């Protein structure tokens, strides 16, 4: 059984091209889902994990929030190249547990990478990122050509 995140209906409305982005996300999820059970297993047959992310936009910016609890900001990398945002890093084992006897280990450790195609052009030189209380927030200002513009109608 696959669980899908609920999305408010008003977020799905808007540009007709937004549906293409949603379609691409669904296709990506289709190919990821057979492997996701393996990555979540206790023996971690495949190394890695994927943090949950939210990506939304307003008139001037794209906003990304990623859940990265238990990490140090120095272990997180963010890059943007040709309209693709990549967040990667590594959640490491706490040193005090290295010699301990483990009775239960449910938190996923190791490297991760999330790659998202951005739905609008952004000004890469103005991007800002903040990390607090396990939440990474990335503010991605839209490039001027991506912002909606009001067109004045003149009488002829």
Q: Do the Cβ atoms of 85 and 138 come closer than 8 Å? A: yes
**Does 94 lie in the same domain as 28?**
no
Specify the pTM.
Answer: 0.64
- pLDDT tens, per residue, the chain with 156 residues: 666 666 666 554 555 555 566 677 777 767 765 554 554 443 344 446 889 999 999 989 999 999 999 899 999 999 999 999 999 999 887 777 778 888 887 888 889 999 999 999 999 999 999 999 999 999 999 998 877 778 888 987
**d(C-alpha 83, C-alpha 120), whole Å:** 8
| Same structural domain, 117 and 63 | yes
Total domains in the chain come to 2
Q: Is there a domain that residue 26 lies in?
A: yes
* 69 and 129 fall within a common domain: yes
On whether both 42 and 55 belong to a single domain, the answer is: no
133 in the same domain as 57: yes
Kindly state whether residues 18 and 42 are assigned to the same domain.
yes
What is the length of the chain? 156
Judge if 83 and 135 occupy the same domain: yes
| Domain extent at residue 21 | 14-46
Residues 37 and 63 reside in one and the same domain? no
Residues 6 or more apart whose Cβ sits within 8 Å of residue 92: 75, 109
Is 69 in the same domain as 134?
yes
């Amino acid at each position: 059984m696959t669980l899908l995140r609920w999305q408010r209906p008003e977020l799905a409305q808007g540009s007709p091209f937004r549906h293409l982005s949603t379609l691409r996300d669904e296709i990506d999820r289709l190919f990821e889902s057979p492997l996701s059970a393996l990555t979540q297993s206790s023996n971690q047959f495949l190394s890695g994990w994927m943090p949950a992310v939210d990506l939304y936009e307003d008139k001037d910016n794209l906003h990304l929030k990623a859940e990265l609890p238990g990490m140090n900001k120095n272990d997180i990398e963010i890059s943007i190249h040709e309209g693709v945002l990549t967040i990667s890093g590594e959640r490491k084992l706490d040193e005090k547990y290295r010699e301990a006897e483990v009775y239960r280990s449910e938190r996923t450790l190791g490297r991760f990478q999330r790659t998202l195609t951005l739905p609008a052009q952004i000004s890469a030189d103005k991007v800002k990122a903040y990390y607090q209380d396990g939440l990474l927030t990335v503010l991605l200002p839209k490039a001027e050509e991506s912002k909606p513009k009001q067109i004045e109608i003149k009488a002829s």
